[in-house]
């Protein structure tokens, strides 16, 4: 399919906020990436991605896909880490010892990590040589993993490797209420991505499709359109919070694993509880937060795993802004 890539410059309120409050020595600028249809014409509004995506776009697009790959895809801050840990544990027959002894980025790498940041990392700063290899080039690290590979991405469906469309690779997508997503993304951006602006400006960016991986709705719909295909499983964060055992059974069936007995189900649910995840050093990304704080990139004081609640947006979004969100949601869902 290919892409058309355009520079993002100032001149609109959202672009001015973006370039002022997100760009730094770790992130120099942004592009709009337009997937090209079969006719060669660009489609959609264009996905916003940091400049560094251009360095890896071709390598990702031409990546060799293996029949036993499992991908977890999502828009940022929609329950990705939680879903990854659930999928990895089910796929690896509840090997909790291995899960706790190896950090998630090495078991389940974020392939587009290097598309987001540009910072120098010395081997001594990394937890081990494998983690250094991941930080240096997450795409190469993922490509060279032993099978079976478990791979995380925030890329929309159109920007996935071309072979995924023909090889029916298993894809699990997780979606979340956009209001909760926006609030969580704001705190994440301050903590990890060096965002220096206000919450009000971040909301403006979110609603104007001007934070990384946006537009939110184009991203979600790119996977929703494939939800009926046998190799795609579409999950919702709220569903996982409401009835985790039911989701676990659904994922187990999708991965071709035997259904868990009551004891194993309870053990896995306990392992995946928010309190357990928050204190589990293999998944809570404390090492990443410490890194960004030491580099002076972090603008926040909270930790990677913050609340893990449904509708926590009500604690931070005013009624007036909520009405604006509702109008934005209705406008984007109209006709779908």
How far apart, in whole angstroms, are the C-alpha atoms of residue 272 and residue 264? 12
Cis before 154 (ω within 30): no
Task: Centre a 10 Å sphere on the Cβ of residue 160 and count the other Cβ atoms it contains.
Answer: 22
| Biggest CA-to-CA distance, the chain | 58
Burial readout 291-325 (b: 16 or more C-beta within 10 A, e: otherwise): bbeebebbbbeeebbbebeeebbeeebeeebeeeb
| Cβ contact 151:72 at 8 Å | yes
For strand 170-175 and strand 70-74, is the pairing parallel, antiparallel, or unpaired?
parallel
Q: Which are the catalytic amino acids?
A: 154
Integer CA distances (angstroms), 220 to 87, 123, 124, 150, 237, in order:
20, 37, 39, 21, 13
How far apart, in whole angstroms, are the C-alpha atoms of residue 161 and residue 254? 21
Tell the residue number behind the tokens 């609340």, with chain if given. 307
How far apart, in whole angstroms, are the C-alpha atoms of residue 311 and residue 36? 36
């Amino acid at each position: 399919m290919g892409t058309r890539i355009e520079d993002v410059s100032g001149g609109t309120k959202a672009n001015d906020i973006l370039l002022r409050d997100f760009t730094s020595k770790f992130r120099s600028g942004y592009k709009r990436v337009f997937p090209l249809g079969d006719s060669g014409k660009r489609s959609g509004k264009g996905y916003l991605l940091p400049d560094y995506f251009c360095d890896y776009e071709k390598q990702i697009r031409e990546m060799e896909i293996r029949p036993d790959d499992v991908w977890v895809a999502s828009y940022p801050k929609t329950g990705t880490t939680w879903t990854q840990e659930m999928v990895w544990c089910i796929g690896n027959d509840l090997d909790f010892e291995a899960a706790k002894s190896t950090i998630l980025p090495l078991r389940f790498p974020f392939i587009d990590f290097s598309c987001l940041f540009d910072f120098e990392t010395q081997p001594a700063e990394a937890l081990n040589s494998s983690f250094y290899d991941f930080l240096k080039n997450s795409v190469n690290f993922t490509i060279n993993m032993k099978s079976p590979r478990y791979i995380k991405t925030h890329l929309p469906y159109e920007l996935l490797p071309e072979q995924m469309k023909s090889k029916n690779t298993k894809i699990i997508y997780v979606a979340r209420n956009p209001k909760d997503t926006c609030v969580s993304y704001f705190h994440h951006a301050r903590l990890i991505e060096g965002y220096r602006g206000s919450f009000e400006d971040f909301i403006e960016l979110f609603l104007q499709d001007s934070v990384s991986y946006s537009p939110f709705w184009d991203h979600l719909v790119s996977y929703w359109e494939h939800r009926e295909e046998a190799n795609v499983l579409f999950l919702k964060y709220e569903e996982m919070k409401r009835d985790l055992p039911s989701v676990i059974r659904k994922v187990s069936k999708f991965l071709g694993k035997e259904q868990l007995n009551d004891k194993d189900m309870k053990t896995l649910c306990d392992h995946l509880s928010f309190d357990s995840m928050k204190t589990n050093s293999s998944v809570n990304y404390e090492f990443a937060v410490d890194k960004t704080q030491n580099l002076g990139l972090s603008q926040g004081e909270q930790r990677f795993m913050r609340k893990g609640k449904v509708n926590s947006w009500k604690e931070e979004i005013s009624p007036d802004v909520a009405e604006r969100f509702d109008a934005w949601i209705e406008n984007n869902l109209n006709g779908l």
